[in-house]
Amino acid sequence: MTQHDGADRTEERGRDSSNRGHVGAPGSLERASDVGRPAGPLGVLLVTASGEVKQQVLLILRRLDYTKPLGASRRMQEAQRWIEALQPDAVLLHVAASDRAVLSLLPTIRDLRSPPVVVVLSEESSDTLKQHCRESGAQVFLDMTRPECGGLPSVLATLWYDRRHPQRPAYNLEHIGLQSIGRVSTQRQTARG
C-alpha cells in the first residue's frame, strides 16, 4: 500500500462518518507505531450555567468519537470537586457576558498537580477577557458566536492527537486556523503515562 492509498482511505472514512453526523479525529486509523499509546477518548467536562450552551456543546461532543463527555456542572464548587475527582483531559469553561464569576475557577484548575487543558467558551471575545483568561491559566479561547463554537471539534482533535502521539505533538493550533492563548501542553498526559 502506498502513502497515497492511506490518505484516500482516511478521506473516505471522513466522508462516510460525516454522513452519519460523526467526526473522526486526525490520525485515528490504527498504525503499527501506535501500539502501546493511549487510545481512549479525551475526557471532557463542561462547566456552564446555561442550559442552552449545555445542549449545544454536548451535541457537538457526542458527535466526536475522540471525546468522552464526563458531565456538565452548573455550580463552581461542584465543578471543582468533579475536576479533582474525574481528572478530565479538558475542561470547557463557559463564560457568560452577564456572569464572569466562573473565571475564579481558572487559578484553582491551573494549580492542580496535573491540570487539564482549559478551553474558555464565550459569546464575548474582547482582548481584555482573553488576556485575563490567559493570565489565569486558560490555554484556548473560543468565540461561541462562530460555527461549531469557534472550532471546538478541531481544538479537541488536536488535544486528542497530542495525547495519542506525545512524541510528535500538534499543539500548534494555528495549523487549524485558530489562535491559542497559550501553549497547549502535553504535560498532563506525560504525568499520567
Q: pLDDT digit string (tens) for 101-154?
A: 788 899 999 999 889 999 999 998 888 988 888 888 899 999 888 887 778 998
Q: In this structure, what DSSP letter does residue 25 have?
A: P
Residue 178 pLDDT > 70, yes or no? no
Could you list the residue range(s) of the whole structural domain that residue 147 is in?
42-192
In a domain, 32, yes or no: no
More confident residue, 166 or 18: 166
Range of lowest pLDDT (6-15, 45-54, 64-73): 6-15
Confidence of residue 56 (pLDDT cuts 50, 70, 90): very high
Q: In this structure, what DSSP letter does residue 89 have?
A: S
pLDDT, residue 24, reads: 37
Number of domains forming the structure of the chain:
1
DSSP 111-138: TSSSPPEEEEEES---HHHHHHHHHHT-
3-class DSSP assignment, residue 163: helix
**Cell 468533579 belongs to which residue?**
82
Beta bridge partners of 91: 45, 118
62: domain CATH number? Answer: 3.40.50.2300
In a domain, 178, yes or no: yes
In a domain, 11, yes or no: no
In a domain, 19, yes or no: no
In a domain, 58, yes or no: yes
Rounded CA-CA distance 108/115 in Å is 9
List the one residue out of 46, 31, 6 whose CA is nearest residue 161. 31
In a domain, 103, yes or no: yes
In a domain, 15, yes or no: no
